[in-house]
């Protein structure tokens, strides 16, 4: 069985990824809270990625970094600290995890790293300045690391649109907002966490051995189409 380290796998997309992998892999989750569903193949470490030392893990085949932020404000209301906090959780946390586990990954089986961006990095959206700036850095990191670590370790990123998670609950807090977001997407839907997990599972699998340095827009058409 392959060993997969998921940072931020207790909730939302991260938890959906953990659940999709746990039957056929050894999964190590690192987050501030434990996943609600225990499993014999799951090991959990309580850890704040920004302030705590990351745990020592003997062997790693894949690293998935899930933490993110949705900090939507007009630029006039964003403080420099907002930009710093978004950059810390989205970029610095990912770098910290990669640097910690890179030596183990180099000896892994079909080793790979998976990061997360957002459609707002490519689609100009009001009130997204801070998160879009941070996630654009994640995309640059994925491409740069993909080149640097080839051919040993593959690096990719997924850029989802709005996904039904606790993190996005403010965007989906009533029927009017749900209808508005649904209508904005050409496919007339937004994402469920398991849809993102399905793509993540593919990208870290042997079926994706020829894919690295790519940003996958899981966008329900909102970036790709104008209809």
| Domain locations along the chain | 2-218
Spell out the CATH class of 2-218: alpha beta
**Which stretches within the chain are classed as H helix?**
12-21, 80-87, 93-105, 129-149, 175-184, 193-203
Mean pLDDT value across residues 43-69: 96
Mean pLDDT value across residues 180-206: 95
Residue 179 has pLDDT above 80, yes or no: yes
Residue 168 has pLDDT above 80, yes or no: no
For residues 64 and 69, the model is more confident at: 64
Task: Render pLDDT for 95-112 as a digit per residue (tens, 0 to 9).
Answer: 999 999 999 999 999 999
Per cent of the chain over pLDDT 70 is 100
What local confidence, expressed as pLDDT, does residue 51 receive? 96
What local confidence, expressed as pLDDT, does residue 74 receive? 96
Residue 39 has pLDDT above 90, yes or no: yes
Mean pLDDT value across residues 25-52: 94
What local confidence, expressed as pLDDT, does residue 165 receive? 87
Q: What is the pTM of this model?
A: 0.95
Phi, psi of 143, rounded to the nearest 5 degrees: -70, -45
What local confidence, expressed as pLDDT, does residue 69 receive? 87
1-10, 38-47, 104-113, 173-182: range with lowest mean pLDDT: 173-182
Per cent of the chain over pLDDT 90 is 87
Long-range (24+ apart) CB contacts under 8 A made by 44-51 are: 44/10, 49/7, 49/8, 49/89, 49/93, 49/96, 49/97, 50/88, 50/89, 50/92, 50/93, 50/96
Going by pLDDT thresholds of 50, 70 and 90, the confidence category of residue 171 is confident
Residue 227 has pLDDT above 90, yes or no: no
For residues 101 and 173, the model is more confident at: 101
Q: Which two tokens stand for residue 219?
A: 């966008």
What local confidence, expressed as pLDDT, does residue 172 receive? 84
3-state helix, strand, coil in the chain (%, to 5): 40, 20, 45
């Amino acid at each position: 069985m392959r060993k997969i380290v998921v940072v931020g796998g207790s909730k939302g997309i991260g938890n959906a990824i953990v659940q999709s992998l746990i039957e056929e892999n050894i999964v190590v989750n690192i987050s501030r809270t434990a996943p609600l569903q225990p499993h014999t193949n799951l090991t959990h470490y309580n850890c704040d990625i920004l302030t705590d030392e990351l745990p020592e893990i003997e062997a790693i085949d894949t690293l998935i970094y899930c933490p993110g932020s949705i900090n939507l404000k007009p630029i006039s209301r964003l403080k420099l600290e907002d930009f710093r906090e978004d950059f810390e959780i989205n970029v610095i946390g990912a770098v910290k995890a990669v640097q910690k586990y890179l030596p183990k990954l180099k000896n892994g089986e079909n080793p790979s790293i998976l990061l997360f961006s957002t459609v707002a990095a490519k689609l100009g959206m009001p009130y997204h300045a801070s998160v879009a700036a941070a996630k654009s850095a994640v995309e640059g990191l994925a491409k740069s690391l993909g080149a640097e670590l080839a051919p040993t370790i593959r690096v990719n990123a997924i850029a989802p649109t709005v996904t039904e998670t606790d993190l996005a609950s403010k965007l989906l807090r009533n029927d009017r907002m749900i209808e508005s977001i649904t209508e904005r997407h050409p496919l007339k839907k937004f994402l469920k966490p398991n849809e993102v997990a399905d793509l993540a599972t593919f990208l870290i699998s042997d079926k994706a051995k020829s894919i690295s340095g790519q940003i996958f827009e899981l966008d329900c058409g909102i970036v790709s189409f104008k209809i």
